[in-house]
Amino acid sequence: MIVFGFGRGAAGPLLRGAGQRFLIGLVEETAGGLDGHARLADVAARWLAAAESADGAPSIEVWYGDEQHFGRLGVPQKWINILGRATARAGLASLHYSLNGAVPMALSVGADGYRLARPGDFNIDLEYDALPAGANILKLVASDVAGRRAERTVTVHCHRGRVWPLPYAVDWRQEQTITDAVQIVDGRWKLEAEGVRTVEPYYDRILAFGDRTWTDYTVTVAVTFHSYAPPLKSAPTYGVAHAAIAARFPGHFADQRRPHVQWYPLGAVAEFRLGQQLDQSSWRIFRDGTANSRAVAIVEPRMRRVELGIRYQLKLRVDTLPGPAARYRVKSWKYGDPEPARWDMDSKEGGATIASGGALLVSHNTDVTFGKFTATQNDPEEP
């Protein structure tokens, strides 16, 4: 017999503008409005499916399918990522993966306060250049504390010799799946009429696109903020909630954590930050950094007001300067309004630690929808 109930949660940050938290089994979710409750019902259905397994064996969920393709358009960063969640009613004892018959390797599972948001979450970092071209067989094995096992096989298709086109434009209404247009680095996302939306807001939910060969380009994206976690100093917000664009991102640095956590060195990430109060929102740019020194932060002195449920345009441009050095500029405006002539921030400080690389769209502890976006080659004659 299965007993299923709803109740208000008591722990974890409440996303402002999101309604109330609920507990589903032992998983906490937030619901507000029709869309929020539809998402709640989706989580409830998945929880029930896992709970009703005939023998109570562990379950392995692979979020983006058992056939995944990388490099079809090009290569935006160093890693490819296989994401999902393992659950076990008796308690998860271990999760391992084996690639192409190699010795199984233990996986870290969440929650970890960083890239792994919920209990049982996993994110497998595989180095693109180390993968053989063609089909690679990834075998996942989960074991529970009672000794029961579950297995799942994912075929990872590695495509070679392709360069991501520039210019590049995505209208999500024309896409069948998210992975037809971007490479998912972190988090659970869903495709909606207006774009791609975070399913479980948390630390750095990331979409990648572009190519490791891209140098000077501009990214423009439509963003709608639905709700956010107030930026507290502790995990998982670490003092900030934002939507961001990154340029010249090589991939997470190969630190000792799994999945890797260190996000610098990089070209730059421009964070459109939501303040404790929405009229305290502003830009912050992190740029450069090395393996042993954190990226440098440049903070916009001006504060602006952001409205939940309203669509904005965010824009980031990167240009190579003599030295070599790099220039990063950002601006924002309400969707549908004329684009302002002036940039909100113009950063020329520092060098060019990373001279090329793909782009990211990032949601950090915000429930956002990323709508249409473009990437264009810069005209050096443009101001």
DSSP code string of 64-127: T-SEEEESSS---SSEEEEEEEEE-TT-EEEEEEEETTPPPEE---S--SSS--STTEEEEEEE
Establish if 14 belongs to a structural domain: yes
Same domain, 39 and 76: no
Higher-pLDDT residue of 74 and 237 is 74
> If you average pLDDT over every residue of the chain, what do you get?
88
Does position 194 have pLDDT exceeding 80, yes or no?
yes
Q: Confirm if 115 and 204 have CB atoms less than 8 A apart.
A: yes
Burial of 180 (0-12, 13-18, 19+ CB in 10 A): middle
Residues 269-316 pLDDT 10s: 999 999 989 999 999 999 999 999 999 999 999 999 999 999 999 999
d(CA 269, CA 263): 10
Establish if 163 belongs to a structural domain: no
Residues 50-71 pLDDT 10s: 454 556 899 999 999 999 999 9
Same domain, 153 and 268: no
Q: What is the pLDDT of residue 174?
A: 96
Establish if 119 belongs to a structural domain: yes
Total number of domains constituting the chain? 3
Does position 42 have pLDDT exceeding 80, yes or no?
no
Same domain, 131 and 256: no
- Residue 43: band (very low, low, confident or very high) from pLDDT cuts 50, 70, 90: low
d(CA 302, CA 44): 43
Establish if 382 belongs to a structural domain: no
Per DSSP, 15 falls in state P
Percent of the chain at pLDDT exceeding 90:
78
Q: What is the pLDDT of residue 121?
A: 98
Full residue range of the structural domain in which residue 20 is found? 6-52
Q: What is the pLDDT of residue 37?
A: 46
Q: What is the pLDDT of residue 12?
A: 41
Q: Confirm if 46 and 254 have CB atoms less than 8 A apart.
A: no
Same domain, 137 and 186: no
Same domain, 81 and 106: yes
Spell 90-101 as b/e; 16+ CB within 10 A means b. Answer: eebebbebebee
- Residue 228: band (very low, low, confident or very high) from pLDDT cuts 50, 70, 90: very high
Whichever domain contains 128, its CATH number is: 2.60.40.10
Same domain, 138 and 285: no
Does position 324 have pLDDT exceeding 90, yes or no?
no
Hey, what amino acid is at 215? T
Predicted TM-score (pTM) of this structure: 0.88
Residues 118-150 pLDDT 10s: 999 999 999 999 999 999 999 999 999 999 999
Q: What is the pLDDT of residue 287?
A: 95
Establish if 25 belongs to a structural domain: yes
Establish if 45 belongs to a structural domain: yes
Q: What is the pLDDT of residue 144?
A: 97
Average pLDDT, stretch 179-205?
97
Average pLDDT, stretch 350-364?
91
Establish if 278 belongs to a structural domain: yes
